[in-house]
Structure formats: structure tokens, C-alpha cells
Structure 1
Amino acid sequence: MAESSPVWQERRPPAAQQLWHWVPADLTDLPRIRRELRGKLAEQGTEQAPAVADPDMFVLAVDELMSNALRHGRTPVVVDIGRTDDAWLLTVCDQAVDAPPRPAFDRDPAQGGMGLGLVAHDALQEGWYASDAGKHVWVVLP
């Protein structure tokens, strides 16, 4: 049986200016949100959409956290993307405050469940916290 790594550290993210917001109802909303996000990233380089270091990884990170929230959390799920001074902040909130993010460790990739590890690998920071609004899982990406 595969072990799990410790849950992501419970802490607040850095301050960020919110740019984009989605509320996916279920997994069928994800292709539309990915398309919209890719369109917004194509506008990069403007003041409202600064450049992303790796757009494909960025979209993958958003998709992984959204799909985890929809599969393992409780609705409603809220997705917010913002900018810090020098990075991007991605936050996904769901209602499963009793289930902190727990990346898979030493699992056969064929069994799935590797998304949090992939996201954390490219993240500058990651964490989570609970509030009255729910469980907020966040990553800072370059």
C-alpha cells in the first residue's frame, strides 16, 4: 500500500491582487475553464495579465487543484487566480475543511493521485488554511 506524505503546511498565502475567478459546478466545467484560462494567458504581457513562466504547467496546476476539489472536496468550489509582486497565486476553495491536501508519496503513477506532487514540484510555495468560507488550497507559481 502506498504511503502518503504529510499534508501541506497549514498557512496563509502571500497577498495578491485577484485577477480571475471561476465557480465550477462539476468536472464538466473544467474544459471550458481551461480554454478561458489559456485565452487569458495568451494576453500575457499586459498590466492585467503579466507573463507566466510556463503556461502549460500553469494550466495543469489549475486543473489539478480544481479537479481535486471537485472529486474529493465538497461544493461549492471557488477558483481564484491573482498576482503577487513577482508571481502568481492560485487558490481553490471547497467545503471539505476536514480533509487537508495530502500529496501521494511513493505511489505507482498508474494508480493516479500524483497531481498535488506535480503542482508542488513547480510551486514556489504551497499551503492551505480553513476559514468560514471553507478549505483554501493554494500555490504560488512563477
Structure 2
Amino acid sequence: MAGVRRSLRHELLDLRRSPRFSERGRTDPVMIVASELLTNAIRYGGERATLCLRSDGNGCVLDVTDGAPAVTPKVVRGRPVAEGGVGLVLALALSSEVGWYVTARQKHVWARFLPHAM
């Protein structure tokens, strides 16, 4: 996981250098959401989780996949943090938009970040 975080941080820093993005932006919200969604993907979908960061010129989309399309993501509110289950809550709070979809073999959970949130 440390290697994934390091690679993602480098990608985000490169993205922030683009003139399209505000210098006031921060990479922390994207890193937090990436860590939470990837942890969920590994916990519920096994070791075949992937993380992809895409920029469309108007922010970025973080897309995390796992091998458990039958396991529906759930937003759990009011649970003590120590019990887990806060990944999607954090994603909803820190990103501009969150969603998920399934294919025959994978589940994708994604979060969009606008430039000011980065």
C-alpha cells in the first residue's frame, strides 16, 4: 500500500503543476479517499484491487476496482470510527461526487475531485 500511495502522490503533484489547476489545491483529500477506497476494495474484493487516476482537464477521477461485483458499497453513518465503515462517508465529504457501477467481473467505485478540492 505504501508504494501505491507514493506513486499516487507523485501523479497528483504532477497534475497540480498543470496550469489548469489552482496552486492553492492540496493532494491530501485525494490521498485520503484513495486510501479508504483501496482499503475497502482489498477488504471486500480481494487482492485484485486496482486504482486509477484520470484527469479530464476539469479535475480528476479516482477509480478503484475490485473483484466483488456482488458486494454493494454501503454508506454507513453514525458508527464509531474504530469500527470501520467510514470510507464512503469520507469520500462523500472530501470529493465533489462519488458513485459506483459493476461489470460482469468487477465493481468500480469512483470519486471526482474538482481543481479547487485538490
Contact 1:65 1:92 in 2 (8 A): yes
Cα deviation code 1:3-60 (max 9, x no counterpart): xxxxxxxxxxxxxxxxxxxxxxxxxxx111111222222323237x956833111111
Moved over 4 A (4+): 49-52
Q: CA deviation at 1:78?
A: 1.6
Larger helix share, 1 or 2: 2
Larger strand share, 1 or 2: 1
CA distance in 2, matches of 1:125, 1:41: 18
Name the SS for the 2:54 alignment partner: strand
CA distance in 2, matches of 1:72, 1:123: 22
The residue aligned with 1:59 is 31
The 5 A counterparts of 1:109-120 are 109-120=81-92
Number of equivalences: 112
Larger RCO (alpha carbons 8 Å, 6+ apart): 1
Name the SS for the 1:60 alignment partner: helix
Contact 1:41 1:51 in 2 (8 A): no
**Is residue 38 of structure 1 aligned with residue 9 of structure 2?**
yes
The residue aligned with 2:102 is 130
Q: Which ranges in structure 2 are unaligned for 5 or more consecutive residues?
A: none
CA distance in 2, matches of 1:73, 1:121: 23
Give the counterpart letter for 1:67 in structure 2. Answer: T
Q: Which ranges in structure 1 are unaligned for 5 or more consecutive residues?
A: 1-29
Name the SS for the 1:103 alignment partner: coil
CA RMSD of aligned residues (A): 2.1
Q: Describe the shift of the 1:81–1:51 C-alpha distance in structure 2 as closer, same or farther (beyond 3 A).
A: farther
